[in-house]
């Protein structure tokens, strides 16, 4: 092609969009933030398989039962809590979550004594508790700067209640992984004295229970209720009296810290100050505001009040680790597999067309598709072995679609006129669009499910299909037209 043809190609919006996306992907991989010292991998996040690290699979020590009763539900819950010495949460009108591993045979006498009957029994937790566990674990790993962690909830077939949680930590040894899951932070409540000065009131071990975020009926503000022990309530009252918070509550903030980081600060309410004059107050509530923002802050504060403790006990039922050396070996083998796939594709396509001017644009388009895909995945998806398999699948399906376009426009081996070219190209694009839609629909359930071994494969495959249909196929159509016209 001469310079005029190349300039006209670069002016075409399809080709220009392809170049811009490739350049943007390279910038995202290597320059945001600058990470040139890491070589070819740049800022790409590798998963456990390629980076080395540890994984833990934990089982929730909890059961969910549906029941029927003619008596007050509160009495049933109270009897269960006393008999089992465990938290019992009402999920809805017909279901209870018992936060302890207990068999159905052991539960039935307690229900019968309370005038109730068990309808169904499932091991696991409610979706609300499962999401809370996932949120707390995310808070923990993010606080430690481990953005590469993968946390998945696993639900057995035939059940609607998550029974397991699996956490994968790339670049983390097994001892550290278990410490992250089991370690509680140091929670402290302090009270403002004068200026920015604060004084210690109590530590988190004086908090006996933490409620779920709820709206205040009068103000519609979100808040989290929590209960102090008798010792903690007495210490709180003495501090409020000593530093003048009872007499001037608006100037004395209650400050909560987790590992010496402030997570909540607000003045004492007038009603609370009045109650503290009369005696210790065990039940407190921290308000966080209205609307979605207030709810989000309340959910975060609930985690902090628990000092990072999970709302339900878990048992480690499976664990494993990938040594860093083995991860590097996998990484090398993956690169070799990718290069071998591209080389094999190039040889086969050249054997078919015997024309380098057709083969080279095909490989260039395929390579640009992988670069764009990696540039997007750098922000949203770890690359593990399943994701790499998705990349290789994208290479194969991409070449298939480019061959369909080339064969269609080269029907009977002749270069068609521009009008006939566009008609044949439109027909070829329709074929690959239908094929792409089929692949996307087939992969969508896997992408939406919390199956850690398959989700990455599905996400990469869907992204590859979309990039091909929206960006690289239209650009290839324009490029191959310019080549065939010569």
User: Does 250 fall in a domain?
Assistant: yes
User: Does 172 fall in a domain?
Assistant: no
CATH label of the domain that carries residue 354: 1.20.1640.10
Check residue 20 and give its pLDDT.
93
User: Does 70 fall in a domain?
Assistant: yes
DSSP string, 197-221: -EEEEEEGGGEEEE---EE-TTT--
CATH label of the domain that carries residue 71: 3.30.70.1340
**The domain boundary residue, chosen from 92, 107, 127:** 127
Q: Which of 450, 451, 365, 456 is nearest to 402 (CA)?
A: 365
**The domain boundary residue, chosen from 84, 100, 127:** 127
User: Does 144 fall in a domain?
Assistant: no
Using the structure block, give the residue that is written with the tokens 């003495």.
238
Residues 235, 351, single domain; the answer is: no
Residues 332, 299, single domain; the answer is: no
Residues 343, 473, single domain; the answer is: yes
Check residue 142 and give its pLDDT.
67
Check residue 451 and give its pLDDT.
58
Name every residue whose Cβ is closer than 8 Å to that of residue 414 and which is 6 or more positions away in sequence: none
pLDDT beneath 70: ranges in the chain: 1-2, 32-42, 142-148, 180, 182-185, 307-309, 324-325, 411-416, 450-453, 486
Residues 328, 475, single domain; the answer is: yes
CATH label of the domain that carries residue 267: 3.30.1360.200
User: Does 466 fall in a domain?
Assistant: yes
Using the structure block, give the residue that is written with the tokens 């009977």.
412
Q: Which of 458, 431, 430, 429 is nearest to 444 (CA)?
A: 458
Identify whether the C-beta of residue 256 lies closer than 8 Å to the C-beta of residue 188: yes
User: Does 312 fall in a domain?
Assistant: no
Residues 395, 417, single domain; the answer is: yes
Q: How many domains does the chain have?
A: 3
Residues 303, 343, single domain; the answer is: no
Check residue 308 and give its pLDDT.
64
Check residue 143 and give its pLDDT.
57
Helix and strand totals (H; E) in the chain: 16, 16
Residues 287, 327, single domain; the answer is: no
Check residue 150 and give its pLDDT.
79
- Interatomic CA distance for residues 313 and 391, integer angstroms: 39
Check residue 96 and give its pLDDT.
92
Residues 458, 427, single domain; the answer is: yes
Check residue 471 and give its pLDDT.
92
Name every residue whose Cβ is closer than 8 Å to that of residue 108 and which is 6 or more positions away in sequence: 118
Check residue 121 and give its pLDDT.
93
Residues 336, 478, single domain; the answer is: yes
Q: Which of 443, 429, 415, 420 is nearest to 476 (CA)?
A: 429
CA torsion 334-339-345-351 (nearest 10°) is -150
Alpha-carbon separation of residue 335 from 63, 90, 332, 341 (angstroms): 46, 52, 5, 10
Residues 277, 424, single domain; the answer is: no
The pTM is what? 0.61
Check residue 21 and give its pLDDT.
93
Check residue 316 and give its pLDDT.
84
Residues 117, 220, single domain; the answer is: no
Sign of torsion, CA 218 223 229 232? negative
Residues 206, 303, single domain; the answer is: yes
Check residue 136 and give its pLDDT.
80
As a whole number of Å, the end-to-end CA separation of the chain is 7
User: Does 137 fall in a domain?
Assistant: no
Residue 271's domain spans which residues? 187-307
User: Does 159 fall in a domain?
Assistant: no
**The domain boundary residue, chosen from 102, 127, 152:** 127
């Amino acid at each position: 092609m001469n310079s005029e043809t190349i300039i006209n190609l670069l002016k075409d919006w399809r080709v220009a969009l392809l170049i811009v996306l490739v350049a943007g992907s390279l910038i995202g991989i290597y320059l945001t933030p600058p990470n040139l010292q890491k070589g070819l991998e740049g800022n790409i996040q590798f998963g456990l398989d390629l980076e080395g690290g540890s994984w833990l699979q934990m089982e929730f020590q909890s059961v969910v039962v549906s029941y029927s009763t003619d008596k007050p539900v509160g009495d049933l819950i109270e009897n269960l809590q006393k008999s089992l010495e465990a938290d019992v949460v009402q999920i809805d009108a017909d279901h209870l979550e018992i936060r302890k591993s207990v068999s159905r045979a052991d539960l039935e006498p307690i229900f019968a004594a309370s005038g109730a009957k068990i309808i169904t029994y499932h091991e696991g937790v409610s979706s609300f508790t499962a999401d809370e566990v996932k949120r707390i674990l995310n808070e923990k790993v993010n606080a430690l700067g481990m953005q590469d962690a993968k946390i998945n909830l696993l639900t057995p077939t035939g059940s609607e209640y998550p029974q397991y949680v699996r956490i994968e930590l790339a670049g983390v040894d097994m001892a550290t992984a278990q410490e992250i899951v089991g370690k509680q932070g140091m929670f402290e409540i302090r009270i403002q004295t004068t200026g920015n000065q604060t004084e210690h009131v109590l530590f988190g071990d004086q908090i006996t229970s933490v409620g779920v975020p709820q709206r205040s009926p009068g103000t519609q503000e979100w808040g989290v209720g929590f209960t102090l022990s008798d010792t903690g309530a007495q210490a709180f009252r003495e501090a409020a009296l000593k530093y003048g918070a009872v007499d001037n509550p608006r100037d004395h903030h209650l400050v909560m810290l987790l590992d010496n980081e402030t997570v909540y600060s607000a003045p004492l309410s007038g009603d609370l100050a009045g109650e503290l004059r009369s005696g210790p107050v065990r039940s407190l509530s921290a308000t966080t505001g209205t609307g979605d923002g207030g709810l989000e802050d309340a959910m975060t504060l609930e985690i902090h009040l628990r000092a990072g403790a999970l709302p339900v006990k878990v048992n480690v039922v499976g664990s494993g680790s990938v040594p860093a050396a083995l991860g590097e070996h996998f990484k090398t083998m993956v690169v070799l597999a990718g290069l071998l796939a591209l080389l094999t594709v190039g040889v086969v396509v050249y054997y078919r067309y015997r024309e380098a001017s057709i083969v080279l644009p095909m490989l260039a388009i395929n390579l640009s598709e992988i670069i764009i895909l990696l540039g997007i995945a750098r922000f949203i998806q770890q690359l593990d072995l399943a994701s790499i398999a998705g990349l290789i699948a994208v290479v194969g399906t991409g070449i298939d679609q480019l061959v369909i376009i080339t064969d269609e426009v080269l029907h009977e081996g002749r270069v068609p006129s521009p009008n006939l070219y566009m008609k044949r190209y439109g027909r070829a694009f329709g074929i690959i669009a239908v094929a792409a839609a089929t692949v996307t629909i087939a992969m969508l359930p896997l992408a939406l499910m919390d199956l850690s071994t398959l989700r990455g494969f599905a996400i990469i495959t869907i992204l590859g299909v979309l990039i091909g249909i929206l960006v690289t196929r239209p650009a290839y159509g324009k490029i191959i037209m310019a080549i065939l016209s010569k």
